[in-house]
């Protein structure tokens, strides 16, 4: 499953462009949210929601899916593998997590963009949620970009076994990037940080009235008229 050098470089270029391009698009998205929040101008807020929906569906979502897909091809097509090295595994988990949150969150953006486009009202409170989502996404993507450059040592138990099989003519331990059999400290530290953050997110979701997502923004007496709007906006791209 290894690629020729020229194909490998092409895939790597596509991988860097899709994943770091995703980061850049999130920065642009964040700029729109911050600009709208600080301006407090209704026209500005409405324009920002519409621009954010477009950026989200037409740039951020495609780049996220491309990043995940091309990342898989890049990992499986090179000796790095997908589950062999901790840094690759972390990148996979972070990318999958960020993509899932993105896809779950976009309908909310579409809802507010729909309100901004169809009515005169503009939702300022919802912008704060955008700051959290886009800011969190940016953080995750900065971590994955940093992991890609640093490529910290550390092989998974699966990676060790695979390496032994491939070098079975060799004696004992292989000569890979991981030097000891134990889990590296950076893996433990990053794992604990990730676990704490996930726990915090879950707690925040449940303490926030237990209703998180597009549903909570729809007034209960107005559900009938608002639901088609969401469906329309989601299907539009």
Q: Which of 2, 7, 9, 132 binds other proteins (CB under 8 A)?
A: 9
Instruction: Give the dihedral of Cα atoms 157, 162, 163, 168; nearest 10 deg.
Output: 130
Q: Which of 33, 36, 45, 51 binds other proteins (CB under 8 A)?
A: 51
Cβ(63)–Cβ(21) under 8 Å?
A: yes
Instruction: Candidates 59-67, 101-109, 125-133, 164-172: pick the segment binding other proteins (CB under 8 A).
Output: 59-67
- Residues in contact with other proteins, shown as a per-residue x/- string from 15 to 44 under the rule CB under 8 A: -xx--xxxxxxxxxx-------------x-
Residues sharing a CB contact under 8 Å with residue 110, sequence separation 6 or more, in sequence order: 53, 57, 214, 230, 233, 234
Instruction: Candidates 8-16, 87-95, 170-178, 209-217: pick the segment binding other proteins (CB under 8 A).
Output: 8-16
* 68 binds other proteins, rule: CB under 8 A: no
Cβ(94)–Cβ(15) under 8 Å?
A: no
Cβ(15)–Cβ(67) under 8 Å?
A: yes
Q: Which of 2, 13, 179, 225 binds other proteins (CB under 8 A)?
A: 13
Cβ(122)–Cβ(46) under 8 Å?
A: yes
Residue with tokens 């990043």: 67
Q: Which of 35, 37, 59, 65 binds other proteins (CB under 8 A)?
A: 59
- Residues in contact with other proteins, shown as a per-residue x/- string from 69 to 108 under the rule CB under 8 A: ----------------------------------------
Q: Give the relative orientation of helices 86-118 and 61-76 as an angle to the nearest 10 degrees.
A: 160
Q: CB of residue 209 vs other proteins: minimum separation in angstroms? A: 31
Give dist(CA 167, CA 161) in Å, integer. 10
Q: SS3 of 151, please?
A: coil
* Residues in contact with other proteins by the rule CB under 8 A: 9, 12-13, 16-17, 20-29, 43, 46-47, 50-51, 54-55, 58-60, 63, 116-118, 120, 142, 145-146, 148-150
């Amino acid at each position: 499953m290894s690629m020729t050098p020229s194909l490998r470089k092409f895939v790597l270029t596509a991988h860097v462009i899709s994943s770091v391009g995703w980061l850049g698009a999130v920065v642009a998205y964040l700029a729109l949210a911050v600009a709208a929040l600080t301006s407090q101008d209704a026209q500005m807020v409405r324009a920002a929601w519409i621009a954010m929906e477009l950026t989200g569906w037409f740039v951020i979502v495609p780049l996220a899916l491309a990043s995940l897909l091309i990342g898989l091809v890049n990992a499986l097509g090179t000796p790095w593998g997908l589950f062999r090295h901790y840094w690759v595994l972390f990148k996979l988990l972070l990318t999958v997590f960020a993509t899932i949150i993105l896809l779950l969150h976009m309908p909310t953006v579409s809802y507010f963009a729909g309100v901004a486009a169809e009515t005169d009202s503009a939702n300022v409170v919802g912008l704060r949620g955008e700051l959290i989502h886009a800011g969190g996404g940016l953080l995750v993507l900065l971590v994955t970009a940093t992991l890609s450059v640093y490529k910290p040592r550390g092989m998974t138990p699966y990676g060790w076994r695979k390496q032994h099989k491939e070098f079975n003519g060799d004696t004992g331990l292989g000569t890979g990037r991981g030097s000891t059999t134990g889990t590296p400290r950076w893996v433990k530290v990053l794992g604990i940080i990730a676990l704490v953050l996930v726990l915090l997110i879950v707690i925040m979701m449940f303490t926030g009235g237990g209703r998180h997502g597009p549903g909570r923004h729809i007034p209960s007496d107005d559900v009938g008229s608002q639901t088609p709007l969401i469906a329309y906006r989601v299907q539009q791209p």
